[in-house]
Structure 1
């Protein structure tokens, strides 16, 4: 294989590599993020904060969001889902939102950062998908955190993305020894 092509493949692969991989949002180290100058948390909604199309706001999540606010974080949901679903959830959670975000395109990331007068260095994107959340966050220059999907139930397009993600995760593991935070658990089995 041509060395230039190999270099390009590794650069592309790097654009999908999150800065952290944790089991759930509840494992975010808020103290560490604040000490590193982070102050804006962007969250995907489905299978990151709640299961796909789940209408309720669980009490533990509500308490965790309040804890994040007490740590000085601004919070914004950045979702590719439709406006009404995201708006209703964000309203119940008491957080800002951008729906129909078009991730991995970067416009919504910059819109959120502008809304809170935050720089990429002050911003964290937390999501369950490499192809949308993490890739978009990397392109926008923000710190990225991959979480395991909450549930197996997903939109059909996401199920297709998961097959591509399995290949990318395999390659990330081979190149960077990057692996799941859960021992002996496959990414989205």
Structure 2
């Protein structure tokens, strides 16, 4: 039962994922969570995020941000990035992921999702049939519901790293 929350891969951050390898394996679309995946919660896109998205576009990836936040929040983050986005995505419902893929013109076999929360991001991506990459959160959580989820995530991650044959948290 706990396996439904396991990501396909994991990395220290969205900035340490081997995107060229993903592209070489046939992935063409990336759906990203925003808060604590690309920037600290509530922050605008910083230079590091801008550079990553620019590099991914140059590599040939289409990008879509998938967020449970309001349109105002996602628009503000995306202001200088000019990528597709889905706001109020309702993660872990698969509808937001499907909408993101439709926007990009990709399919589950050619799309990867990257996020920092197992119970919303990764579980939703799995439900939508996507390859999922779990990354460690960037910032410190301040919302009580996320803080509580992080404690439960630690249990899942313990089993993922110690008993999952796919292996360890990878860089």
TM-score computed with the length of structure 1 as normaliser = 0.84
Contact 2:65 2:85 in 1 (8 A): yes
Give the length in aligned residue pairs. 170
CA distance in 1, matches of 2:133, 2:142: 20
Q: Does 1:124 align with 2:112?
A: yes
Gaps of 5+ in 1: 1-11, 183-189
Equivalent of 1:40 in 18, 22, 29 = 29
Instruction: Describe the superposition over 1:71-116 as per-residue Cα deviations: whole angstroms up to 9, x where unpaired.
Output: 1101011011122111111122211111111111100001111112
- RMSD of the TM alignment (CA)? 1.5
Instruction: Describe the superposition over 1:99-141 as per-residue Cα deviations: whole angstroms up to 9, x where unpaired.
Output: 1111111000011111122110011100001001111101111
1:144 CA displacement: 0.5
Gaps of 5+ in 2: none
- Structure 1 segments, 4+ long, off by >6 Å, are none
Q: Does 1:29 align with 2:18?
A: yes
SS of the aligned residue for 1:172 comes to: helix
SS of the aligned residue for 1:15 comes to: helix
Q: Return 96-105 or 173-182, whichever deviates more.
A: 173-182
Alignment of 1:66-77 (within 5 A): 66-77=54-65
CA distance in 2, matches of 1:75, 1:118: 10
Which residue number in structure 1 is paired with residue 122 of structure 2?
A: 134
TM-score computed with the length of structure 2 as normaliser = 0.93
Contact 1:52 1:155 in 2 (8 A): no
Which residue number in structure 1 is paired with residue 89 of structure 2?
A: 101
SS of the aligned residue for 1:66 comes to: helix
Contact 1:77 1:98 in 2 (8 A): yes
